[in-house]
Amino acid sequence: MRGLVNPITMLCFLLLASVGIGVFNSTLLPTVPDAHAANVTIVLSACVAACPNVGWNGTTSNPNPTITVTRDDMISLSLSSGDGIPHRFIIDADGDGGQYTDDCPGTDPCSIQFATPISYPYLVTLTPGTWNYYCSLHPSAMFGKFVIKPDLSVGGITASVDKVGLLAPYLASALAILGAIGATILYVRRAKPSGYVA
């Protein structure tokens, strides 16, 4: 029995060492940084009269642009009147065509009425999807799509994963255990006295 003490001790030591390697495994996993929403500035000029085109950004060749943001973005709408008359930006969250301002700013996110430049901050909290935005004073002429993408990122980056690096400690542990078992079997076979019958 004395001859088995050394291999068993060695086996226990190797098993403990392999468990110890497993404990430090967490340092090999990629860390995920905190998520951060973007701060986005959107410039819109309202124009329904005396402009090259009618609509939001009617002073340009591309009126009523599609606005695309991500949920939880903090946007700052820089709003101005290109024709000097009052306007009001509204996102139609309830599907009423942006005409009924009694639910603004409750259900429908909206700016104050403006004829001079203003800044309207808005934290995007609506459900991801395609919404419409309007001028609540001129909804048939001033409207566009407001697309909200879901925030699928955590931290804004996708970390590549080194699969071999993640498996290496487990493979090393398995090889250490197999090596210890093999060494024990070899030691026991050599330690048997001659003429020993099992």
DSSP state of 117: -
DSSP state of 66: P
DSSP state of 170: H
Across 16-20, 61-65, 78-82, 95-99, which has the greatest mean pLDDT? 78-82
The crossing angle, in degrees rounded to 10, of helices 163-191 and 5-23 is 170
pTM above 0.95, yes or no: no
Q: Does domain 39-149 correspond to CATH entry 3.90.480.10?
A: no
Report how far residue 7's alpha carbon sits from residue 186's, in angstroms, rounded to the nearest whole number: 10
Q: What angle do CA 153, 130, 75 make, to 5 degrees?
A: 60
Cα Rg of the chain (Å, integer): 34
Q: Are 101 and 112 in contact (CB under 8 A)?
A: no
Residue ranges in the chain assigned as alpha helix (H): 5-23, 163-191
- Confidence grade of residue 76 (pLDDT, cut at 50, 70, 90): very high
- Confidence grade of residue 131 (pLDDT, cut at 50, 70, 90): very high
Report how far residue 98's alpha carbon sits from residue 17's, in angstroms, rounded to the nearest whole number: 68
- Confidence grade of residue 59 (pLDDT, cut at 50, 70, 90): confident
* The predicted structure's pLDDT at residue 196: 60
Report how far residue 194's alpha carbon sits from residue 180's, in angstroms, rounded to the nearest whole number: 24
